[in-house]
Amino acid sequence: MRLRSFAGGNFTGLNFIRLMLGGLLLAGCGPAAWARFQPVTCKNAFTVEQEKVEGAKVAAQVYQQMPVLPDSDPVSRYVQQLGNRLVEHAPGERWPYNFHVVAVEDVNAFALPGGSIFVNLGTVQAAETEAQLAGVMAHEISHVVQRHSTCNITKAQTPQLGFGIASVLSSILLGDSAAGSLAQGALGLGATATITRMSRDAEKQADLLGVGILYDTGYDPRGMPQFFETIQAKYGAGGTQWLSDHPNPGNRMEYVNAEIATLPRLDRPTVTTAEFARVRGIATGEQMYTAKDVQAGVWKKAGRYSPGPGGVAVAVPVSSGQQTSSGQSGGQSGSQPAVAAAARLSKSAMGVGARLVRFQGDRYVMSYPESWQHGEDSSGAMTFAPVGGASAAGLSYGAVVEVAQQPGDGVNDAAGLSAATIALARKLSDQNGGLQQVGQMVSTTINGQNANVVELRGKSPVVEGGVQMTERDRLVTYQRVDGDMSYIVFVVPERDLATIKPMFDGMMRSYRAQ
Ligand code: ZN
């Protein structure tokens, strides 16, 4: 199902993303540490489990808004493998760490709570040695270890908000207009005052713990301060956002070097590897986007970026409906028009068995599975989807809810509702390249409201084993006392219909026009 352009909503999810390498350069810090740095704990209103769940939701949003290379890309594989080695030496909680590469040229990286870490291609290119790149990644891992983002959110919440903290993270935007703001946040552009902006203390803690992780993994810990130097030499103090954001790099260099001095000399630390040189060469040949291109969504046309965590980029020629694997060794996709494909979700990813929670819409109430996300577009249509159910490829699992204005006197009886339902089904069909009706339209009542149910069949954005799946769309319409018509479109690959049906039924029955 094709999504409309989503817009609006709140900025919480975006702010949450804004955990950047941007903080790497600090000022005004105290004298050198005398003993090895120990991770700092802070007051945190989130359980570890909440942090994992909410962090994964934000990670899924990153894929919709930034060009994340597929996991199979050689640069991604290398970064994953480097990250996996580093986290073996990360202290504290065993977060489900995962590493990804974003095709963005700015020198940056960011960590999400719960352990998703994104490194820009520009950073891979800028690093001169493996130890330098490992230093950037160890810094990001250290933000995760010390739970800086959720501690920040905890700090920013007023006490009377109480359990609202969890929902702060749950309300994450799905959508295009969000892309700009998200990219800005993640790339370190635009507004700077956000609740998750890393404090200088947090950045210092990430630097110092990062040095320890680097060292314990067998790298020359000087890779970290050397990266600061490399970047400064290349771009100058004002040349990248994170340098201009953080004056006094000398001070940062000083405390990092002082920390390194507390560590016994390693016998033969790793400075760089042939593998790094090889991968950096590949990275140099990869297509990269500017922050502006990312905002404009230019990259979405390439069809080669990952639709979601664990997803694979597959190009589907729009004309024939047949699939070919996208070229993954760099460069643009060919002359064929291509769209991104979505991945099939497991039963647990769909949220089967999740508790239904009440959603108060503008002119309705409805329940939806607690683990799903929701986002609103500029026209007020609300999309509810499990993580991975909505991507650049469109909506593959979930539901869209909207109140559709009706002309004239509007819909005021069962016959009027049926006519409006048929017209809407036709419109949906036209917008989605032709949908086939399955069975007869059913007229019924739900919570005392006249309602119609139409089942439709079309093409799903989900591709499995190189085959585009068939989609089932259930259109439910409700007559409103104000003469307008409410509707819900439920979307799922046909093969998963039986699995998700009880959830759709529950949502459909919970709907009340207001
Ligand atoms: Zn940082």
Map residue 324 onto helix, strand or coil: strand
Residue 131: its H or E element: helix 130-145
Cα 271 to ligand 1 centroid, rounded to whole Å: 22
Q: Which of 306, 294, 350 is nearest to 104 (CA)?
A: 294
Cα 453 to ligand 1 centroid, rounded to whole Å: 51
Residue 192, pLDDT score: 25
Strands 364-369 and 512-513: antiparallel
Q: Give, in order, the Cα–Cα distances in Å from 458 to each of 27, 179, 183, 423, 477.
A: 57, 28, 32, 17, 19
Residue written as tokens 């919480």?
A: 12
Tokens of 297: 């969504």
Cα 196 to ligand 1 centroid, rounded to whole Å: 11
Amino acid at 301: K
Buried b (16+ CB within 10 A) or exposed e, 337-363: ebbbbbbbbeeebbbbeeeeeebebee
Cα 206 to ligand 1 centroid, rounded to whole Å: 6
Taking a 5 Å cut-off on Cβ, the residues next to ion ligand 1 are 23, 203, 206
Cα 137 to ligand 1 centroid, rounded to whole Å: 10
Cα 21 to ligand 1 centroid, rounded to whole Å: 4
User: 368 phi and psi, to 5 degrees?
Assistant: -145, 160
Alpha-carbon 468 to chain mean position: 24
The pTM for the full model equals 0.54
Helices (H), 146-271: 148-156, 164-170, 176-187, 200-216, 223-235, 241-245, 249-261
Ranges of residues in the chain with a pLDDT under 70 are 1-34, 156-198, 237-250, 310-340, 376-379, 391-394
Q: How far, in Å, CA of 238 to CA of 211, rounded?
A: 25
Residue 91, pLDDT score: 96
Residue written as tokens 């230093």?
A: 135
Instruction: Determine whether 323 is exposed, middle or buried from the number of CB atoms within 10 Å of its CB (0-12, 13-18, 19+).
Output: middle
* Torsion angle of the four alpha carbons 111, 43, 190, 120, in this order, in degrees rounded to the nearest 10: -10
Residue written as tokens 């819409």?
A: 361
Cα 110 to ligand 1 centroid, rounded to whole Å: 7
**Residue 91, number of CB atoms within 10 A of its CB:** 13
Cα 277 to ligand 1 centroid, rounded to whole Å: 25
Cα 20 to ligand 1 centroid, rounded to whole Å: 5
Cα 323 to ligand 1 centroid, rounded to whole Å: 40
Instruction: Determine whether 32 is exposed, middle or buried from the number of CB atoms within 10 Å of its CB (0-12, 13-18, 19+).
Output: middle
Residue 461, pLDDT score: 81
Cα 72 to ligand 1 centroid, rounded to whole Å: 27
Residue 237, pLDDT score: 61
Cα 92 to ligand 1 centroid, rounded to whole Å: 18
Cα 5 to ligand 1 centroid, rounded to whole Å: 32
Q: How far, in Å, CA of 113 to CA of 116, rounded?
A: 7
Buried b (16+ CB within 10 A) or exposed e, 236-271: eeeebbbbebbeebebbbebbeebbeeeeeeeebbb
Strands 116-120 and 98-102: parallel
Q: How far, in Å, CA of 359 to CA of 366, rounded?
A: 5
**Rg of the chain, C-alpha, whole Å:** 25
Cα 478 to ligand 1 centroid, rounded to whole Å: 49
Q: Maximum CA pair distance of the chain?
A: 84
Question: Cβ(288)–Cβ(107) under 8 Å?
Answer: no
Cα 7 to ligand 1 centroid, rounded to whole Å: 29
Map residue 363 onto helix, strand or coil: coil
Tokens of 291: 């922050």
Using DSSP, how many helices (H) and how many strands (E) does the chain show?
17, 18
* Torsion angle of the four alpha carbons 198, 199, 201, 202, in this order, in degrees rounded to the nearest 10: -10
Residues 6+ apart with CB under 8 A from 233: none
Q: Which of 157, 151, 194, 154 is nearest to 39 (CA)?
A: 151
Question: Cβ(506)–Cβ(354) under 8 Å?
Answer: no
Map residue 90 onto helix, strand or coil: coil
